[in-house]
Structure 1
Amino acid sequence: MNSQRTEPTDRVGFIGLGNMGAPMATKLASWSGGLTVCDARADVALPYLEQGADFAPTGAAVAERTTVISIAVVNDAQVRDVVTGQDGVLSTAKPGTVVAVHSTISDRTAEELATECASRDVEFVDAPITGGAGGAEHGRLAVMVGGSDIAYERVRAPFGCFADLIVHAGGVGAGTAMKLARNLLHFVAFTAATEAQRLAESAGLDITELGKVVRHSDAVTGGAGAIMLRENTSPIAEGDFWLPILSHVRDLGEKDLSLALDLGARLDVDLPLAELALARLGPGLGVGVSNVPESA
């Protein structure tokens, strides 16, 4: 492709000034090459204009003025329209332009759009983000980039305005796959939190106070991410550094899950995720189930 490494003098475009896009674009307002913003609501662009950015009414108009374009809209359909629609980015994008989609879309959509972009000598990256609006406001987002090495190198500098962790996950679609894996953990954990609340409530506890304890301890321990340090998920062999560490995690988890299930049974509270966790924790950690008898 005819791509070139991004220099600070290149102009960046940002399409979609919603809850996440707005603070991200605000961080890009300091980009030395300049910023062009675009949103269906022209009035939301006013704060960026006051900071020196300019406004473009369509994706096509953005692409006429910029060579790196970030897109943060709602879903696959909107992304497709912004990229390939009648007034979309590809209708005017110059060869060597990099189109980066921050929305969480299907990996198949990412691959299809990459093919269409390549036919115009345009680079495509799926670059979903995590960290929430607060992370965006403080420049603390994590970005998972799927795309070529060339495209990754080109987006690193502008992405650094709103993110303090930029990971090259692999080729197109890999960024999305990583985001989906991350969000699987996120929302399964949310569901587990509701189960924990039901148990605590049935035990007569203040679930607001429980929430305080959870947030406090997760901030100290790192939560579930604290165990995500291995290079693969294969069973752990004897003599491996991780075997005693994750066996200890399993033993503690099986003990505490068993105690929680016992409490739930006495309170007549169904805890299906806890039951699954008890059965799958050890195998998932790669250390198998505990050999300790249930009565121990």
Structure 2
Amino acid sequence: MPDPGGSLRVGFVGLGNIGKPMALRLAAADGIDLTVYDVAAGPVAELVEAGAVAAAGVAAIDADVVCVMVRDDDQVRAVAAEVRPGVVLVVHSTVAPETPGELAAAGHTVLDAPVSGGPMGAADGSLAIMVGGAGAAFDVARPALEAMGSLVVHAGPLGAGTRMKLARNLIHFVAFTAVTEAQRLAEAAGIDLVELGKVVRHTDAITGGPGAIMYRDTTAPIAPDDFWHGVFDHVAALGEKDLAFAIALAEQQRVDVPLARLSLDRLREGLGLG
């Protein structure tokens, strides 16, 4: 455990596109003594230049908290196997839902803490960090987490951070697939895709994009006298109108838009309107 009157000793393993800027945020933070390790010498040298200490290997890291941002579950397990006992192991990699529990069963004190925001958010410290695990371990790691992210959410018990990240990324990649469908329609209709992209990014920054409907604490049906019924009924009416127009345009252009058709079928029920 960290000395209440001293600095938090943090180790960071995995200095890739997101891990390196995360570690640089830690190196610049007050009250944190940082040790880093990566198989690549270049990013380690950059962190040493920023004030971190280089470790010869994971087993050589003497820390209160070890943050891990590596490629996949197997690499996470390999790192965990070398982490010293008593350390709070913070897994930032997006792993399978069962992996955090497996690490805990092997004797580690684990926080699963995947991030959202990409290299840009890592560089400017604006990541969202979704944390699962015991409150005591979260309290130990919190100063490091808050040095790397502007939104740190304790999502619940071990595994909750991973489950939240997977739900978040379901939105991300389903939306990407919808974008590819919309691009095919726009291209067939003679629309400049680059200009369309500018419009999408501009308006999503104003409205919040898909997250604009995420204010209720349940997916249960909405009672007719609930405030949200009127709001979402309006959303559904607009969506059904515009989806119908888009599908008609797609038929004219002979473009297949299965996600649009599925959305038209499921939008109202999905919003809780029955």
TM over 0.5: yes
* Alignment-derived partner of residue 239 in structure 1: 225
1:15 matches 2:5? no
Unaligned runs of 5+ in 1: 289-296
Deviation at 1:57, TM superposition (A): 2.4
- Residue aligned with 1:100, SS: strand
- Is the Cα contact below 8 Å between 1:69 and 1:98 reproduced in 2? yes
Residues 5 and 145 of structure 1, relative CA distance in 2, 3 Å threshold: farther
CA distance in 2: counterparts of 1:7 and 1:129, whole angstroms: 29
* Alignment-derived partner of residue 37 in structure 1: 36
**Normalising by the residue count of structure 1, what TM-score does the alignment of the two structures yield?**
0.89
CA distance in 1: counterparts of 2:56 and 2:40, whole angstroms: 9
- Is the Cα contact below 8 Å between 1:6 and 1:154 reproduced in 2? no
1:68 matches 2:65? yes
1:78 matches 2:75? yes
CA RMSD of aligned residues (A): 1.3
- Is the Cα contact below 8 Å between 2:32 and 2:144 reproduced in 1? no
Deviation at 1:184, TM superposition (A): 0.3
Deviation at 1:107, TM superposition (A): 1.3
Deviation at 1:50, TM superposition (A): 1.6
- Is the Cα contact below 8 Å between 1:23 and 1:133 reproduced in 2? yes
- Residue aligned with 2:28, SS: coil
- Residue aligned with 2:16, SS: coil
Residues 145 and 7 of structure 1, relative CA distance in 2, 3 Å threshold: farther
Deviation at 1:58, TM superposition (A): 1.6
Deviation at 1:9, TM superposition (A): 0.9
Residues 130 and 6 of structure 1, relative CA distance in 2, 3 Å threshold: farther
* Alignment-derived partner of residue 56 in structure 1: 55
| Counterpart code for 2:93 | S
- Is the Cα contact below 8 Å between 1:70 and 1:99 reproduced in 2? yes
* Alignment-derived partner of residue 89 in structure 2: 99
| Counterpart code for 2:77 | R
- Is the Cα contact below 8 Å between 2:26 and 2:32 reproduced in 1? no
Segments ≥4 residues shifted beyond 4 Å: 3-8
Map 1:138-287 onto structure 2 (within 5 A).
Answer: 138-287=124-273
* Alignment-derived partner of residue 135 in structure 1: 121
| Counterpart code for 2:258 | P
Identity %: 51
- Residue aligned with 1:69, SS: strand
- Residue aligned with 1:238, SS: coil
* Alignment-derived partner of residue 291 in structure 1: none
The number of residues matched between the two structures is 273
| Counterpart code for 2:139 | E
- Is the Cα contact below 8 Å between 2:2 and 2:9 reproduced in 1? no
Deviation at 1:7, TM superposition (A): 6.4
CA distance in 2: counterparts of 1:6 and 1:194, whole angstroms: 52
CA distance in 2: counterparts of 1:268 and 1:238, whole angstroms: 39
Deviation at 1:52, TM superposition (A): 2.0
Unaligned runs of 5+ in 2: none
**Normalising by the residue count of structure 2, what TM-score does the alignment of the two structures yield?**
0.96
- Is the Cα contact below 8 Å between 1:67 and 1:94 reproduced in 2? no
Deviation per CA, 1:31-90: give whole Å up to 9, x if none.
32310000011332112112221111221111xx11101000000010011112xxx11x
- Is the Cα contact below 8 Å between 1:42 and 1:57 reproduced in 2? no
| Counterpart code for 1:24 | M
